[in-house]
Amino acid sequence: MIIEFLNYALNGALLGLLYALVAMGFVVIYRASKVFNMATGEMLVLGAFLVWWAVASRGLHPALGIAAALAIAVLLGLAIERLFFRRLIGESVFSMIMVTIGLLILTRGLVLVIWGPQERAFPALIPLAPLIVGEMIIPRPLAAAGVVAVVFAFALHRFFNRSRTGLAMSAVAEDHQIALSMGISVRRSIAFAWALGGVLSVISSIVYLSGKSLTFLSSEIGFAALPVALLAGLESIRGLLLAGVIVGVVQGLTSAYVDPLIGGNAASVVPYLFMLVVLAVRPNGMFGWKRIERV
């Protein structure tokens, strides 16, 4: 009984770290532009189709296929900044969020036009055989997602807090006009953030979809990762790890013990309820920046 509980909790925690990896797409762009990117899930699907096209359709070696997908994703991120967000520098946050909603619709439409609605088998870039440690059974893609999430979280935390480029991006997020007055290139910072978002979309799609079916509906994981981003606070990179573990464990245990009792799917709702309770107490999330305003 204890082993079963630990198994559900561990797999839930790893699923939560996958959510944290996807949620980094929200945080990276928010920290550089103050834009909450509603199209994060659609960008992940686009990255997944680029990997599928390069590896499964064109028959490239996985390493070359992933490299090609990453390069295209970076170019697409730069194109998004150039076409949609460069003209919005200095505009209201609301205007930028509305543009990301339009980007969501546009990206989904492009995916449907180019690849259609049918399911495709995503290449198994990560071995599917589970890891067995004693009586614990761990899906290998989830284990890989956990490792990748931790590595990226600490790397991005160091980048945003130690490097000149990362600090400049944080300054841009605070205020475009002040950043310009300090000699910081707002365009370059936002472009770099969207390029980095493209890279994260490809990496997230590989660990999430390896060996699974790929459709345009795979973008739903973007909304599943939303509670993690909001719980952590939209400025916190490392906080995503703890928030992801909390959401994942709650969801995993609810699915294992509550859903069979009520005959429903409470596991998909509980993370959002938990998120609302926490945000009611801490609107900035667990690790979000507190802002002091003089009046």
Per-residue pLDDT of the chain (295 residues), as tens digits, is 788 888 999 999 999 999 999 999 988 888 877 788 889 999 999 999 999 999 998 989 999 999 999 999 999 999 988 888 777 766 777 787 888 899 999 999 999 999 999 999 999 999 888 888 878 888 898 999 999 999 999 999 899 888 888 888 777 777 667 777 777 777 888 888 899 999 999 999 999 999 899 999 899 999 889 889 888 888 788 889 999 999 999 899 888 888 888 877 888 887 788 778 777 877 777 776 555 443 3
Quote the CA–CA distance of 286 and 101 in Å, as a whole number: 26
pTM of this prediction? 0.90
Paired tokens of 233: 């606070």
In one-letter notation, the amino acid at residue 23 is: A
According to the model, what pLDDT value does residue 195 have?
92
Quote the CA–CA distance of 111 and 215 in Å, as a whole number: 9
Backbone φ and ψ of 137, nearest 5°: -115, 120
Taking CA 202 as the corner, what is the angle to CA 199 and CA 205, rounded to the nearest 5 degrees? 145
Residue with tokens 């795979």, as numbered in its chain: 218
Helices in 137-269 by DSSP H: which ranges? 140-162, 164-174, 176-181, 186-209, 221-224, 226-232, 239-253, 259-262
According to the model, what pLDDT value does residue 215 have?
92
Quote the CA–CA distance of 125 and 228 in Å, as a whole number: 26
Quote the CA–CA distance of 8 and 32 in Å, as a whole number: 36
Identify the sign of the CA torsion 258, 264, 267, 269. Answer: negative
Quote the CA–CA distance of 226 and 40 in Å, as a whole number: 10
According to the model, what pLDDT value does residue 82 have?
87
> Which residues touch 200 (CB under 8 Å, ≥6 apart)?
21, 24, 25, 28, 152
Count of C-beta atoms within a 10 Å radius of residue 196? 21
Task: Assign 132 to helix, strand or coil.
Answer: strand
Quote the CA–CA distance of 281 and 147 in Å, as a whole number: 31
Taking CA 102 as the corner, what is the angle to CA 289 and CA 210, rounded to the nearest 5 degrees? 75
Domain residue spans of the chain = 21-219
